Amino acid sequence: MLDFTGQTIIVTGATGNVGAALAETLARLGASLALADMREAPLRELADRIGGAPLVIAGADVRDKDGAQRIARECQARFSRIDGLANTVGTFKHGNIHEDAAGDWAMLMELNALSALRLSEAVLPAMRAQSYGRIVHVAAGAGARAFAGAGVYSASKAAVMRITEAISEENKALGITANCIMPGTIDTPQNRAAMPNADHSTWVQPADVAAVVAFLLSRSAQALTGAAVPVTGRQ
């Protein structure tokens, strides 16, 4: 069983389906947590539910350098170190190329890719100083090969994958790993509402995604870096 006792992990997008499942998993495994999201009330509810007095950081825009730096700064002020970053921030929007998909370029690139870059930039100085760290971002299978109606989304997730690979290459000699996951369709209320006729039994549970991310954040994952890990269940 993984043990995060004495380790501090930042979870961004913490009130989302995957973020909340990950926070619950890491809390059970003994991690000290810094939970970040835009909305304060759900963050407080999550913190109360998982216990352990996590640090709550509300309202920090992770697309913005100052917002990302604030998360890292407050985490260090509370815990004196940053051992891991699990960035679950992201979004999807359908858009065909011939229907002005470029109009969504800034939004998808900023929320999916720029956030990954800003957050990594913010936590890496602390990780490099301590010669240890784990970074995990959420990419998607579409980042490896686009599907119809997802050209800009796919480009943004491909950017996450390339950013992750670069972080890995730049820091692997310092005990720092960087990986991303490529989840399949996750079983969430939002996805069930959007796809009511799909076979939900094949979808990936948020807790199963969280389990993979927890492993990538652990000391046991030292030999794994620069990877894009499929988390697709039975799809």
For 82-90, what is the mean pLDDT? Answer: 98
Beta bridge partners of 136: 86, 179
Domain boundaries, the chain: 8-231
Q: How confident is the model at residue 22 (pLDDT cuts 50, 70, 90)?
A: very high
| Predicted confidence band of residue 197 (pLDDT cuts 50, 70, 90) | confident
Which residues does 151 contact at the CB level (< 8 Å), separation at least 6? Answer: 95, 96, 97, 101
What's the confidence (pLDDT) of residue 54?
Answer: 98
Express each pLDDT in 60-74 by its tens digit. Answer: 999 999 999 999 999
- What pLDDT does residue 208 have? 95
Query: Mean per-residue pLDDT for 218-235?
Result: 94
Q: How far apart are CA 127 and CA 108, in angstroms?
A: 28
CA triple 4-179-96, angle to 5 deg: 130
Average pLDDT, the chain: 95
| pLDDT higher than 90, residue 107 | yes
How far apart (Å, rounded) are the C-alpha atoms in residues 60 and 66? Answer: 8
**The model's pTM:** 0.96
CATH topology of domain 8-231: Rossmann fold (3.40.50)
In three-state secondary structure terms, 82 is coil
Q: Name the β-bridge partners of 153.
A: none
Taking alpha carbons only, the member of 9, 3, 12 closest to residue 33 is 9
Closest residue by Cα to residue 179 from 136, 217, 222: 136
Whether the per-residue pLDDT at 47 is higher than 80: the answer is: yes
Q: What is the pLDDT of residue 195?
A: 81
pLDDT attached to residue 1: 87
